[in-house]
Structure formats: structure tokens, C-alpha cells
Amino acid sequence: MRKTSIFLGIFTLVAILFSSLLPGLSLSADKTNRPGVIPPVFQKLAGRLVADGFDQTEIERLFTDDKVAFDNRIMPRKITHDETKLHYDIFLDKGRISRAKGYLQDNRKLLTAIETEYGVPKEVKVAILLVETDLGRYLGSGLAFNTLASMAVADDFERIKPYLPAGYKNMTGKERRRIEKRMKKKAGWAYSELKSLIIYANLNNLDILSMKGSIFGAIGLCQFMPSNALKFGVDYDKDGKVDLFSTADALASMANYLKYYGWKQDLARNRQLKVIMHYNHSTPYAKTVIKVAEKVRTS
């Protein structure tokens, strides 16, 4: 018993010393979340954020919240995503076009004022809003924080291998190295966007853990990535914050973004497509936005 007690005492001392290397960041070997303990999968990420200057207490609060969880679907979806296979034709059906026309009528004063200031036609803004979030009806099913944090830590092929499509699981050699390189690049991108999301929420006094996001972390009615929210966000309703879940701020921010990338009056159609492709790097997407705008305009 005496030897056992001595051994346990030494083990406890070593554990305390080890945990002191990362002050305030709870360490746990458990695979399940526990109150007040940062999930193991996120501990390194939390430490990295603190090292990059984020407030330690705030980071602990976020990662120990019971709404925060690792989503193993995010990175597999990101590296297998094929924009060309999306069916944008659904946004051209009569029902959606009718709703888009109704949205324009209901918000005509606001849309016209933003058009006057930024030079982006109201129909184009409504078309993008329809394609992005079905006029604000669908902002995503998951939390943007979880999406970006999950992607930021998913840079290990073996971690996500069980969740990849069959054709990706048995990759070897050059092809696997290509996927691993892409994963690391996407994880780095997600980490940068996660930092932007935290900054954006803090600057605008918004609850980061209530923000729904797309499958890749875009937020708001206009579906901006957080870095774009910081760069192009507009406080159009003058309430002291850029809230992309607010109609006025979202529409003005969208117009600001398009103006920055070259939208101007009497722009040729091929140039319009190029500007819209800055919003989403997809030719089918851009063509659909233009077609929806044309149908809405003919009301």
C-alpha cells in the first residue's frame, strides 16, 4: 500500500506539472465532453488561439460550451465538394421567382437606396439572396464556429478517413499525398476564418455560438465568410454594429462587395458574370444569378 501511495503521489505531481505548461487550458484524455473541460480534439486549437493573442478566458468559455462539438463531416465534404454538380436550376422555378419578386416589392425602398449608393441593381441583390439563403429562409443547419473549428483540426488523413467516400479511403502514394496537402491547406484556411469569426463577433457584440452557418462556415443572409464580413461588412442601419443577419446590413454589405470587385452601371454581361464569380467561384452559380435577376426585373 505504501509503494502504491508513493506511486500515485508521484503520478499526480507529474500530471499537475504537465497541465501547468498550458495554464488555464484543461487537459483530458476522455473522448467525451465534460463540463468545464475543453474537448481533447480542440485542446491544441484552443492553445493556438491563445498563443495568437486571443483572450484565454474567452477561448475557454467558447470551447467548454456544450454547444461546441467536433463535426467529422466537414473536412470530407470540403475536399470532395464539386460545385459543378449543384443543381442551380431549382432557383428558376416559378414559385421561387414569384417569392423573389415579392421580396423585392416588400423591400423596394431599402433596395433602391442601396442601389443608389453602391450602383448594384436591386434585382441582382435579390437574386444572390435567393440563391444563397432562399431569401433568408435557410442560413445553415450548424453553427459556423463548429464548422470552422472542426475543419481547422481535421488536417490528419487518418482522423477523417472513416468518413470519406469509398474511393478516397484506400488512396496511397502520390494521390494520398495530394489529398493530405489539400487537407492541410483547407485546415489552415479554416483556422484563419475561425479567427476572423471570433473577431467579427467581438467587434459587433454578437453571440458567436448562435450564428448559423453554411456547410463551410459562411454566415448571415448574404453568406459571407468571416474574413469578408470584416472587410466588406456595412452598418447600414446605423445601430453601431455590422450584423449580417440584419436585412439592411446584409444587402448593403453584398452591394459593397460587388462594387469592390468591379460592378458598375452598364457593365457588359460577361463582366457581370466575372464580378459575381468573386462571390462564388462557379460559372453555373453566376449564370443562375443573372437569369434570376432578369426574371425578377421583368415583373
Are 3 and 138 in the same domain?
Answer: no
Q: Examine the domain organization and report whether 186 and 64 are in the same domain.
A: no
Q: Are residues 55 and 195 in the same domain?
A: no
Burial class (CB in 10 A: 0-12, 13-18, 19+), 1: exposed
Q: How far is CA 119 from the centre of its chain?
A: 27
Instruction: For residues 52 and 82, state if they share a domain.
Output: no
pTM of the model: 0.85
Same domain, 181 and 237: yes
Domain that includes residue 7, residue range: 1-69
| Same-domain status, 99 and 27 | no
Which candidate, 232, 233, 224, places its Cα nearest to that of 129? 224
In the numeric block, the cell 501547468 is attached to 20
Q: 260: which residues sit within 8 A by CB, 6+ positions away?
A: 232
**190, 182 contact by CB (below 8 A):** no
pLDDT digits (tens, 9 = 90+) for 36-85: 799 999 999 999 999 999 999 999 999 999 999 999 999 998 888 877 67
SS3 of residue 210 by DSSP: helix
Total structural domains in the chain? Answer: 2
pLDDT digits 0-9 by tens, 134-175: 999 999 999 999 999 999 999 988 888 888 888 777 778 888
Same domain, 48 and 155: no
Question: Could you count the other beta carbons within 10 Å of the beta carbon of residue 116?
Answer: 9
* Residue 80 and residue 92 in one domain: yes
**Residues contacting residue 170 through CB under 8 Å, at least 6 positions apart:** none
**Same domain as 216, residue 81:** yes
CA distance 149 to 277: 26
Task: Provide CB contacts within 8 A for 5, sequence distance 6+.
Answer: none
Give the three-class secondary structure for 34.
strand
Among 69, 97, 127, give the residue marking a domain's end: 69
Question: Looking at residue 34, what is its pLDDT?
Answer: 63
